Amino acid sequence: MTRVLMAAATAAALAACGPSVAAPTVGQPAPAFSATDSKGKTVSLSDFRGRTVVLEWFNPECPFVKKFYEPGAMQKLQADARRDGVVWLVVNSGAPGKQGHLTPEQANAFIRANGVAATAYIPDPSGTIGRAYDARTTPHMFVIDPAGTLVYAGGIDDIQSANSADIAKARNFVTLALADLKAGRPVANPTSRPYGCSVKY
């Protein structure tokens, strides 16, 4: 009887979270999306067919995000990738009133103040894009190849801490995936466990 009650409670809790969304599958087409970026421009994934795309889930108040932004490590990754022709999109799926939510104006101020080198910053206050990608943490990283196939999904690196001193010691899975794509190789580490703060839908 106890097990039955526990199962019912679990089902009710899951139902209260809203409809489930199947996680995107590495090796399959990346979920399509179209949104308005922080500068008022429409950005669609289909615009970048033929180019590698990185999606980075973001929350400026998350310690795991600060780990990379405060020393400028994320900005360097963005700039290095863009020099290689990669499109880098920062997505914030934080809902209004939740930690890390930024209006477009606040986002643009953050970009200027912190030297963010991404191609575009995409507010996703409804969580539509985040749920399509099953984005769970900030950061949660995805790499899409020029054919539109999802080739990497997971954490940014292999040291799950909020300490900036660990960056230099870690294997950066995004950098490795981009290097594999540039060299025409299959991505050697296509998935990993994402870590960070939960996305505040």
* Per-residue model confidence (pLDDT) at position 22: 64
Q: What is the DSSP string of 54-70?
A: EEEE--TT-HHHHHHHT
Give me the CATH number covering residue 51: 3.40.30.10
What pLDDT is attached to residue 47?
A: 96
166 inside domain: yes
Let me know if residue 7 belongs to a domain. Answer: no
pLDDT in tens, 103-146: 999 999 999 999 999 999 999 999 999 999 999 999 999 999 99
Query: Domain tally for the chain?
Result: 1
- The amino acid that residue 40 corresponds to is G
Share of the chain above pLDDT 70, in %: 89
Domain that holds residue 128: 23-198
- On whether residue 10 sits in a domain, the answer given is no
Residue 69 domain-assigned (yes or no): yes
Residue 6, pLDDT > 80, answer: no
Using the predicted structure, report yes or no on whether residue 71 has a pLDDT greater than 80.
Answer: yes
Q: Is 171 in contact with 157 (CB distance < 8 Å)? A: yes
pLDDT at 24: 93
Give the HSE-up count for residue 15: Cα atoms under 13 Å, Cβ half-sphere: 6
pLDDT in tens, 77-101: 999 999 999 999 999 999 999 999 9
DSSP assigned state of 118: -
Residue 147 belongs to some domain of the structure: yes
Residue 9 lies in a domain: no
pLDDT in tens, 138-183: 999 999 999 999 999 999 999 999 999 999 999 999 999 999 999 9
Q: What is the mean pLDDT of residues 12-40?
A: 75
- Residue 48 belongs to some domain of the structure: yes
Tens of pLDDT, residue by residue over 28-54, are 999 999 999 999 999 999 999 999 999
Instruction: Specify if 13 maps to a domain.
Output: no
What does the block give as tokens for 193?
Answer: 């466990």
Cβ atoms of 112 and 17 closer than 8 Å:
no
**Tokens 């950005």, located at residue:** 43
Exposure class string for 66-80: b at 16+ Cβ within 10 A, else e: ebbbeeebbbebbee
Task: Using pLDDT thresholds of 50, 70 and 90, give the confidence band for residue 23.
Answer: confident
User: Does position 184 have pLDDT exceeding 60, yes or no?
Assistant: yes
The answer to whether the predicted template modeling score (pTM) of the entire model surpasses 0.85 is yes
